[in-house]
Each structure stands twice: as structure tokens, then as C-alpha cells.
Amino acid sequence: MRAPPIGATTWVTPKSTATDISEINEKKIGAFMQEKMAQLFMEAGAIAVEKGPPGTMGPSTHAYGGTRMGDNADTNVVNRWGFSHEAPNLGILGASVMGTSGAHNPTLTAQALAWRTAEHLTKNWKAIASG
């Protein structure tokens, strides 16, 4: 994640951008993970495993997990309602709060979590707004 420069003056709301910059270590980790997954799939009974080159995320990659949800502020970014442990009036909505995927496209889960966070915000507006 890359945030806009502090103090940047624009007429639009600055947004962070997600980039995939794979350095040597990330490529080594990716190759190791591919080999390990291929081994596990074969041990589980797969007939064949196809692997793409390690590096850039593929077209079906879903990025999530960067702002993990949980009650422990030492190991998680947001609480069970999707609000930051460090800035209690900052709600984070989207797949980034999911630590892992359930196995399929995470869109509906991300939508449900966002709806849940928004509902919690509306029911607890005064407490959340005061921080």
C-alpha cells in the first residue's frame, strides 16, 4: 500500500494505491509456496498441478488480509466491528479485514462485513464519533 504524500494539496480525495512490487525475496517466497502447495495437492490426490511463474499477481487474485480483524489490538488492525484499534472512529470496510478466504470468491463475504460495519456505525454513531 502506498499513501499520497503528507500535505499533498488536491481537489480530489487522495486515495492509497495497492501495487505488487516483487523483489528477490518475495519471488523466492512465492516459488517456495508454489512448490509446497504443489506437494500438498499431489499428496492429497491431485493428478497434476500447473504453476505459473512466481511474481506478479494473476488475473484471479483477490487481495485481502492487510487490515486483519480481531479483538487483540496487538495482533489485529481492526476490532470485530471493523473499526481501528488505534483510531476508534476509523472504520475499514472491504476484504482487507479478512484474514483468509473461505475458498471461493470473497466478494459476498466482503459485502456482508461492510454492511455489518455500517450497521454497527449507525447504531453506535454517538459513541464512535466521539472516539
Distance between CA atoms of residues 110 and 95, nearest Å: 5
Same domain, 113 and 129: yes
Residues 16-35, mean pLDDT to the nearest whole number: 74
* Structural domain harbouring 124: 63-131
The confidence score (pLDDT) of residue 36 equals 92
The confidence score (pLDDT) of residue 59 equals 53
Same domain, 18 and 7: yes
Q: What is the dihedral of CA 124, 112, 100, 54, to 10 degrees?
A: -120
Contact 77, 84 (CB under 8 A): yes
Distance between CA atoms of residues 77 and 73, nearest Å: 6
The confidence score (pLDDT) of residue 18 equals 55
**pLDDT one-digit tens code per residue, 33-84:** 889 989 999 999 999 988 877 665 555 566 677 898 999 999 999 999 999 9
- Picking from 26, 43, 61, the residue at the C-terminal end of a domain is 61
Same domain, 70 and 129: yes
Same domain, 36 and 72: no
The confidence score (pLDDT) of residue 74 equals 92
